[in-house]
Amino acid sequence: MSGIQELPDELQLATAQHVKYIQSLDTRKDEYDYWLTEHLRLNGLYWGLTSLYLLRHPDALPRDETIDFVLSCQHSNGGFGAAPGHDAHMLYTVSAVQILALVDALDELDKRGQGKAMVGKFIADLQNRETGTFSGDEWGEEDTRFLYGAFNALSLLGMMHLVDVDKAVNHIVACANFDGGYGVSPGAESHSGQIFTCVAALTIAGRKDLIDVDRLAGWLSERQVPSGGLNGRPEKKEDVCYSWWVLSSLAMIGRTHWIDREKLIGFILRSQDLEQGGISDRPGNMADVWHTIFGLAGLSLLGYPGLDAVDPVFCLPKTTMERVLGKAR
Amino acid sequence: MASHGVAKYNRAARTEEQRQQDLEKIEKYRQIEDSIRSQASAGTYDTALFQLTSKLLRLNPEYHTIWNVRRRCLISSLLSKSSTSNSSPDTMPTPHEDQSTSTTEQSASSTAADADSDADILRSELAFTVPLLVEFPKCYWLWGYRQWILEQAVLRLPTATATSIWEGELALDSKMLTKDRRNFHAWGYRRYLVARLETPELRGKSMVEDEFTYTTKMIRVDLSNFSAWHNRSRLIRRLLDERGADDKARAAFIEAELDQIREALNVGPEDQSLWYYHRYLILQLIHHSQESTIVPNLTVEERISYIEREIEDIKDLIEDYDDIKWVYEALLEYTLALGQLRQASQSTGGDDDRQNEELQTWLAKLRKLDPMQAGRWDDVEKELKSRRETT
């Protein structure tokens, strides 16, 4: 990372502003948008809290309140909603498990929640036992995002044995395209976000041998555009969140050196809001916590100084993963 | 919370008047939300609750719990009771599954009036979500809800009625793809609609010719539409099988595809969508033993000769387009693949020294034209070196 010292001042990481920005997110109850986005609350807490851990300010949000809030979102079937009063869904259940792993409170599930076993059962019951893929909830929408989410959360809980891993792996293989990428379902176009979910799920399953590495890496590195940012599909605009989807996929197959890492660092840093904090989809736009975490996680994978190392498979700090997987084994 | 393409503004810069307006909006929104919650927790999924969900979903179609409440209202109160037992979420079929429930059986057990009323309600649900879909074309929940409504049509309505609803949906999907040609929700939805329409529960016949024609139409409108090229690549195998294409017809088919893409590349060699599709066609010719191909019975000599022709044509492109990286990337990739084919067939051809020189020239061009992928070109160079050493 020799180039970092040469960057101008406005291209430094605005750590203090980002911390303040994340702390402010739950104080915006007089903004209409706060209420319109309640269906993302638990995800938002995961994005914000992981950002704070990567920024080395893990205590910037109160731990007890965090745990209380997470548990208040749980249903009797073990699954979690986005906030109290919201229906349970895979997406929120994964965020809940990730948050509890992050703050070292998975044990609270047994102490005060419905129990780890119920969470594991909720997730495992969403597997389609014929095709191997997963739906998001009882209403049946299926997507490789849910398959990855299930693998992620079940790994953190040490409960991968509850699902049919081989069938899930076969399903991912069926989602592969000639360009080396993966789609939402068999037949769907390759998409960087979906590639992340499939490559990460294969990594968790220990089946990276099924990936056409050079072809996929070529497709992924072709996502970089002259601004240094990455796009999600051919001929689309660049976006900070793909700093994570593309880069972490490249990391899992050992090919991050196929893109211009310093140009990507510049793109992410230029997308920061230096006054109000946070990172946006691209320079000049409104920051949000989703682009903040994926921008920071990208910078972390790129070895940017001042950030904790992120795990490319789970999008949690490496220290968290070492602690949790150590326990789960 | 995840905004895309929203220009930066200062949150703190709201006037007191604007703040008051926000507070009023919040109060109105939360009042509806509270009413829905208290009714839902009491378990009265009736018409009144259904109407409240319309109000809230118009304000916020991302609120997935409210879509679920709406589904429960439909099942409990609005739709006929006759097939309720079949509409529990767990029995929702996937497009790939052969469904065991027979539509005719159900329509016999329910009255014609029930079916008419159900059809009206389901049509009105689809109509309700159209303006929302136009405004929020990337909202996952909206697409998922429409899918659920369509499955209800299969479960509850006579085949002809259900089919006409599904066909209307395909027309709507085409409209969505006219507005945004790359919307991957709309493309995925299209594949789902077609797969289900093809089952005996609905139309019961293949739509692969129509869908292939549709990709041709979309590509003519916009050559850079990789979503259309992708879909085309996924249809060809079935298309040829269903046409009963023999080896000659298959060869003619891939030649026509190659001709088409070659013409397009002559006009737009900077278009990566075209190169990706070209690569797909070349992969059919290279035919790794582990992959199936649309031209399975071409001899190695025929494959070699097709690829040689493509390489020569791409080399001609350099005369007009010296500075397009895709040209060199293709030359490099195809030449290496050709080398492997030749090795496998023990056929000679190509002067190794001359070819090595060419490969080095193209690689140097790539380094110059695409310095961002320098690490990749380093790896390619290492690979070229190790190949030279092993041969």
B225 Rama class: left (phi>0) / alpha (psi -120 to 50) / beta: beta
Amino acid at position B302, single letter: E
- At residue B84, does pLDDT exceed 60? no
The 3-state DSSP class for residue A176 equals: strand
**In B30-98, which ranges are E strands?**
none
Which residue of A177, A189, A239 is in closest CB contact with B187?
A: A189
pLDDT at A279: 98
Radius of gyration of chain B (CA): 28
Which residues of A are less than 8 Å from B89 in CB distance?
138-140
What average pLDDT does chain B have?
Answer: 90
pLDDT of residue B86: 45
Listed as ranges, residues in chain A with pLDDT below 70 are: 1-10, 327-329
Q: What is the dihedral of CA A149, B61, A78, B90, to 10 degrees?
A: -90
For B344-359, write each residue's pLDDT tens digit. 777 666 667 888 999 9
Name all contacts of B82-86 with Cβ < 8 Å and 24+ positions apart: B82/B106, B82/B109, B82/B110, B82/B111, B82/B114, B82/B156, B83/B109, B83/B110, B83/B155, B83/B156, B86/B155
- Check residue B81 and give its pLDDT: 78
Contact list in A for residue B332 (CB cut-off 8 A) is: none
- Measured distance CA(B29)–CA(B63) in Å, rounded: 12
CB within 8 Å: A139 and B272: no
Judge: A30–B22 Cβ closer than 8 Å, yes or no: yes
Interface of A with B in 213-232 (CB under 8 A): 217-218, 221-222, 224, 228
Cα–Cα distances in Å, from A325 out to A63, A101, A199, A316, A328?
21, 10, 19, 12, 5
Question: Which residues in A lie closer than 8 A to residue B372 (C-beta atoms)?
Answer: 221, 224, 228, 259-260, 263
The answer to whether A89 contacts B64, with C-beta atoms less than 8 Å apart, is: yes
Pair of tokens at residue A296? 């920071």
pLDDT of residue A132: 97
Collect all residues of chain B within an 8 Å Cβ-Cβ radius of residue A286: 3, 6-9
Smallest Cα distance from A205 to chain B, Å: 22
| Segment B239-270, tens digit of pLDDT | 999 999 999 999 999 999 999 999 999 999 99
Domain ranges of chain B: 28-78, 114-205
B279–chain A Cβ distance below 8 A for any pair: yes
Structural domains in chain A, sorted by start:
1-31+212-329 (1.50.10.20)
Backbone angles phi, psi at A182, to 5 degrees: -135, 155
CB contact under 8 A, B63 and A38: yes
Asked if A40 has any chain B CB less than 8 Å from its own CB, the reply is yes
pLDDT of A261: 97
